[in-house]
Structure 1
Amino acid sequence: MPGGLVALLDDVSVIARTAASSVDDITVAASRAGSKTAGVVIDDAAVTPSYVTGLDPSRELPIIGKITVGSLKNKFLILLPGALLLSWFLPQAIIFILMMGGAYLSYEGAEKVMEKLGGKKHGKTLEDEIVDPVKFEEQRVSGAIRTDLILSAEIMAITLSEVADESFIVRAGVLAIVGLAVTLFVYGAVAVIVKLDDIGYHMVEKNSAFAKSIGRFLLKSVPLLLVALSFIGTIAMLWVGGGIIVHGTHELGFDLLYDIAHGAEYAVKSATGALSGLLGWVTYAAISAIIGLVLGAILAVVIHKFMPEDREAH
């Protein structure tokens, strides 16, 4: 009996050491993968405030809460198990799923550009009279969660590619950590951004002259910030969407778009000095955005030609 107990304790010790090692591996891999997703995280944070801009301030945080819950469902109920299953059984399909997401983002971004340039608006917008605020809010939340699904899929795919050679436990742990951390960071930041004006009003009412000046600064700058974020969000959709298409076509053996984007990037890097890295990246991002705009515009024209005009707003 003592021998059996000692053996059991030894087995438990081995399991504990293995688990501790796995946790350490997960932490290191999550840190590595998280740094690779930084660009998409910024895009996500820039896109989301547009879904609550102009709505009743009392509904801003509840709407963000709904989007956050939807984002967690996207990641943990759909994307995480889907990514693990695909990495097991059909890893070749991941690139096609990513490209579908890239096409969708390109379409969303291009449609917004076309509308800003005077094109016909599709679906209800904030410039229209909102007859049913509850239904309109549901549409905004639904649109935000759809966009989050695409951006989250890109984040999870990037993460998975970083840990593709790790064990199942490490892959699952890293995907879970990155998914949760990204969601909390993005929607926490969005909640702060959309409530900056309320913070400004609160500070203006303080007795301190310094607090009043900060409050007035926030009240003046928040509208400009939201406009800037709306612009950045549109560019981000095109940049990320086009970048996915560039990378995906390259993976499938069609190198034209990849060669154009990276050729221009390397040319700029070679012609510039200390800022070569930054300017090269900007060049690649700009060309990716142009590719996304062209593809998205084509998709928008085709879709609106064959889809009914009363489709829901996104």
Structure 2
Amino acid sequence: MASGLLALLDDVAALVKVSAASLDDVPAQVAKTTGKVSGIVIDDTAVTPKYVVGLDPSRELAIIYQIAKKSLINKLLFISPAALLLGFFAPWAITPILMLGGCFLCYEGYEKVHSMFSTHSDQEEDADNATTITPEELEKERVDGAVRTDLILSSEIVAITYSTVADTPLMNQIIVMLAVGIFITVAVYGFVGLIVKADDMGVHMAKEKFHPAVQKFGRGLVKGMPTFLKVLAYVGTAAMLWVGAEIVIHGIPFLHHLLENFLHSLPEIPALQWFIKVLISALAGIILGFLIDKIVTLVRKMLPSGKKEKA
């Protein structure tokens, strides 16, 4: 009896030791995964500020909070459990789902590039349409749009996180996915909150009670924020195209190997190889987004509602 109890305690101790050793790897796995999803994080950070442009400044942080809260709920309660279930029952489905999300990002990115070159009359028409809804409706529309885009980006983040820890114990998978989801959400939307309120901070720093150098910095911050936000929007669009196309290319072995072989043929300069990879991916994203846009337009015309609008 005593020997049996001792054997059981030895087994429990061994199990605890293995679990502890496994959990020791969690910080390294979180750091590794965060690095892998850095492109998507840049995309998410750069895209989000545009959703509060033109709205009541007093509502900016509240809107960012709404988006962040829904993003965190989606990651922790829906996307992560879905990824774990898919990984267990249908691991083959993860790559196609990732590719569909990549196609959506390319489509969204192409739409943004296309809108940059839209005619003045189109912009006036959009402005007229914007005046027909209340500020509350516009805010809800913006939040819904941000959450919709974030849902795709969050799915990509969770899927990439799962692929990184798929061969580890289940407890490790859960902890790493939760840690990455929380860390990235707090980091992204915390930084976005700083960006959208930077002009207010600049106005405060420009007051006479501060040192002249601080006042000068504050005035420069206020003057520079419109340009910064514009550049950030361009970066967000480029990141959307780059990330989306890279996900699609990675899911097609032939294209992935072709791109990797081409990059290896370049001089051994990591920065150059990274830039060329991003440039090729962004261009591929524009092409893919253009093709998807044409398919979507054709399908809309074929649907009864599309024919009615055309008439």
TM bucket, shorter chain = 0.7 to 0.9
1:251-270 to 2 correspondences below 5 Å: 255=254, 257-267=255-265, 269-270=266-267
Q: Deviations over 1:78-123 (max 9, x none)?
A: 21101111111100000110011011000100011111112657x9
2:104 corresponds in structure 1 to 104
Deviates more, 1:90-99 or 1:126-135: 126-135
2:174 corresponds in structure 1 to 172
How far apart are residue 133 of structure 1 and its match? Answer: 1.3
* Aligned-residue CA RMSD (Å): 2.6
1:230 corresponds in structure 2 to 233
- Contact map agreement 2:33 2:160 (CA 8 A) in 1: yes
- Contact map agreement 1:264 1:283 (CA 8 A) in 2: no
> AA paired with 1:291?
A
1:159 matched to 2:161? The reply is yes
2:309 corresponds in structure 1 to none
- Contact map agreement 1:264 1:284 (CA 8 A) in 2: no
2:249 corresponds in structure 1 to 246
Distance, in Å, in 2 between the alignment partners of 1:127 and 1:46 is 26
Q: Deviations over 1:237-265 (max 9, x none)?
A: 11111111111122xxxx1x335533442
- Contact map agreement 1:261 1:288 (CA 8 A) in 2: no
- Contact map agreement 1:66 1:141 (CA 8 A) in 2: yes
Sort the Cα spacing of 1:93 and 1:217 in 2 relative to 1 into closer, same or farther, 3 A.
same
- Contact map agreement 1:54 1:126 (CA 8 A) in 2: no
1:28-47 to 2 correspondences below 5 Å: 28-47=28-47
Q: Deviations over 1:275-308 (max 9, x none)?
A: x211111111111111111111122233234446
1:220 matched to 2:220? The reply is no
> AA paired with 1:144?
A
- Contact map agreement 1:63 1:141 (CA 8 A) in 2: yes
Distance, in Å, in 1 between the alignment partners of 2:151 and 2:249 is 20
How far apart are residue 150 of structure 1 and its match? Answer: 1.2
- Contact map agreement 2:39 2:239 (CA 8 A) in 1: no
1:96-135 to 2 correspondences below 5 Å: 96-118=96-118, 128-129=130-131, 131-135=133-137
1:48-127 to 2 correspondences below 5 Å: 48-118=48-118
How far apart are residue 128 of structure 1 and its match? Answer: 4.0
TM-score, normalised with respect to structure 2:
0.87
How far apart are residue 124 of structure 1 and its match? Answer: 5.1
> AA paired with 2:99?
M
Distance, in Å, in 2 between the alignment partners of 1:228 and 1:107 is 20
Deviates more, 1:61-70 or 1:294-303: 294-303
- Contact map agreement 1:46 1:232 (CA 8 A) in 2: yes
1:210 matched to 2:213? The reply is yes
State the aligned residue count. 298
How far apart are residue 215 of structure 1 and its match? Answer: 0.5
- Contact map agreement 2:42 2:236 (CA 8 A) in 1: no
Q: Which runs of 5+ in 1 are unaligned?
A: 310-314
Q: Which runs of 5+ in 2 are unaligned?
A: 307-311
Q: Secondary structure at the match of 1:71?
A: helix
How far apart are residue 26 of structure 1 and its match? Answer: 2.0
How far apart are residue 35 of structure 1 and its match? Answer: 2.0
Sort the Cα spacing of 1:262 and 1:18 in 2 relative to 1 into closer, same or farther, 3 A.
closer
Distance, in Å, in 2 between the alignment partners of 1:124 and 1:146 is 21
Distance, in Å, in 2 between the alignment partners of 1:126 and 1:214 is 37
Sort the Cα spacing of 1:288 and 1:126 in 2 relative to 1 into closer, same or farther, 3 A.
farther
**Which residue of 141, 145, 154 corresponds with 2:143?**
141
> AA paired with 2:260?
H
Which structure: greater helix fraction?
2
How far apart are residue 181 of structure 1 and its match? Answer: 0.5
